[in-house]
């Protein structure tokens, strides 16, 4: 008989994991402390935007294989394998991760399980967390075993990354735990997905190391953009040339406004904090500059926008295309686009934002900004247009038609995703980060 699964925490990670595990044929119970979110999910509706997930969720709820509850007691009774998918946000005023939700999830399960089972951590945590939790379980629920199975989801591609991942990592201390994980992921393993079986600490480090490497690669090309601007070079051509080197590759080598979201920024900061606790802070000191380069991109975008308006935002209308931190998502956590928009508004401009799916979330966080349902409405009588999230809809805009709407044909491309020749041919002054 197949094991029954629970998923503790139903945000981006948890809701995706729950729906995908149900798709693989398991009975799955999702658990969250938010009654409104649970009611929405139980009705087969997704409370956030993620391509392909809404249909998958509705489909699996309809089959009866997937349901949701607020009761950790019910989850403890129901499940054989419990996936912990709760958030690990940055602590207020610190770099370190806040593990309150992880601890609460594991403690809640330990207080109510009445038979042997496996708790599987998927949340991104500082190295050493799994070992600490395993000790707590030994004292409180000796029949419960722990494993760590980090996630590698990209928002906007979460379903694909769950059902067709590039690797699976199993941090385990026993053959029993490994066997249970192999049973859960049997379909993926049979399809050829490689599995790395390792200890707790290495499993935890795989996730944070991957994020640190990606953040470093992004900030490297953005540092080169700073040099290109000073030297009169073109960072897009530089990046294309570097990408042809097989030792480097082109992924994440695209200069622009930098990274944001709920993972990369806080994860590299938590990694630095944990390295300090372990006495190896110098090993990750470079990540401070990675973080600093990333934040400088936002300030440079504001400066470049101000330059295009003659040195002042006072009395100017600015259209901002994009609010989410990346396309195909409505996630506005640490969004570079919204940071830039809010900063420009504070400096005197009238700022109007359009995002295909993130307007509502952005409005809650920044109610003082203007919002419109189309890019054309946002650009009405604008003195400057800023392209800050690389949605395909913005790349498909007709520069000539948009030019009839704006007050002045000026655009700054914060993502180096538009065709400069096309916009300039339509009479626009086109500027971008890292390009002449």
Active site residues: 263
Bridge partners (DSSP) of residue 168 are: 195
Nearest to 112 by CA among 67, 144, 81: 144
Edge-to-edge strand list for the sheet holding 350-354: 370-371, 350-354, 317-321, 384-387, 410-413, 429-432
Q: What is the Rg, in whole angstroms, of the alpha carbon atoms belonging to the chain? A: 23
Q: CA–CA separation, 21 vs 6, rounded Å?
A: 10
Angle at 56 between CA 55 and CA 57, to 5 degrees: 90
Give the DSSP letter string of 354-409.
E-TTTHHHHHHH-TTSEE-SSHHHHTTT-SEEEE-S--HHHHT--HHHHHTTSSS-
- Binning the chain into helix, strand and coil, the percentages to the nearest 5 are 45, 15, 40
Whole-angstrom distance, CA of residue 215 vs CA of residue 334: 14
Element (H, E) at 401: helix 399-403
Q: Which of 147, 85, 71, 78 is nearest to 114 (CA)?
A: 78
What span, in angstroms and rounded, lies between the C-alpha atoms of 158 and 156?
6
Burial class (CB in 10 A: 0-12, 13-18, 19+), 259: buried
């Amino acid at each position: 008989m197949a094991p029954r699964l629970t998923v503790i925490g139903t945000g981006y990670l948890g809701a995706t994991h729950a729906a995908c595990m149900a798709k693989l044929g398991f009975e799955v119970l999702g658990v969250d402390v938010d009654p409104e979110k649970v009611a929405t999910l139980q009705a087969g509706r997704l409370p956030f935007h993620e391509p392909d997930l809404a249909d998958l969720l509705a489909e699996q709820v309809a089959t009866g294989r997937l349901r949701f509850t607020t009761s950790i007691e019910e989850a403890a009774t129901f499940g054989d394998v419990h996936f912990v998918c709760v958030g690990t946000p940055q602590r207020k005023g610190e770099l370190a991760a806040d593990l309150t939700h992880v601890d609460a999830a594991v403690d809640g399960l330990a207080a109510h399980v009445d038979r042997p089972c496996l708790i599987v951590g998927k949340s991104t945590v500082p190295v050493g967390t799994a070992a600490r939790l395993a000790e707590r379980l030994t004292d409180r629920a000796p029949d419960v075993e722990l494993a760590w199975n980090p996630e590698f989801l990209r928002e906007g591609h979460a379903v694909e990354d769950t059902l067709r991942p590039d690797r699976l990592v199993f941090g385990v201390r026993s053959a029993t735990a490994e066997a249970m994980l192999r049973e859960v992921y049997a379909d993926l393993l049979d399809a050829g997905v490689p599995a790395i079986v390792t200890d707790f600490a290495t499993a935890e480090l795989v996730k944070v190391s991957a994020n640190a490497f990606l953040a470093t690669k992004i900030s490297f090309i953005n540092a080169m953009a700073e040099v290109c601007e000073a030297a009169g070079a073109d960072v897009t051509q530089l990046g294309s040339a570097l990408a042809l080197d097989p030792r480097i590759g082109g992924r994440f080598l695209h200069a622009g406004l930098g990274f944001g979201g709920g993972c990369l920024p806080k994860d590299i900061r938590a990694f630095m904090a944990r390295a300090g606790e372990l006495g190896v802070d110098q090993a990750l000191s470079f990540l401070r500059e990675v973080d600093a380069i990333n934040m400088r991109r936002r300030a440079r975008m504001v400066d470049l926008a101000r330059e295009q308006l003659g040195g002042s935002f006072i009395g100017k209308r600015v259209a901002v295309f994009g609010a989410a931190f990346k396309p195909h998502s409505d996630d506005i956590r640490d969004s570079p686009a919204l940071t830039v928009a809010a900063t420009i508004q504070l400096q005197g401009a009238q700022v109007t934002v359009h995002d295909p799916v993130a307007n509502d979330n952005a409005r809650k966080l920044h109610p003082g900004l203007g919002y419109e349902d189309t890019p054309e409405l946002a650009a009405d009588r604008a003195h400057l247009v800023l392209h800050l999230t690389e949605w395909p809809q913005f790349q498909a805009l007709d520069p000539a038609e948009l030019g009839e709407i704006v007050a002045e044909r000026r655009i700054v491309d914060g993502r180096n995703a538009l065709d400069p020749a096309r916009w300039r041919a339509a009479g626009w002054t086109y500027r971008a980060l890292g390009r002449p």
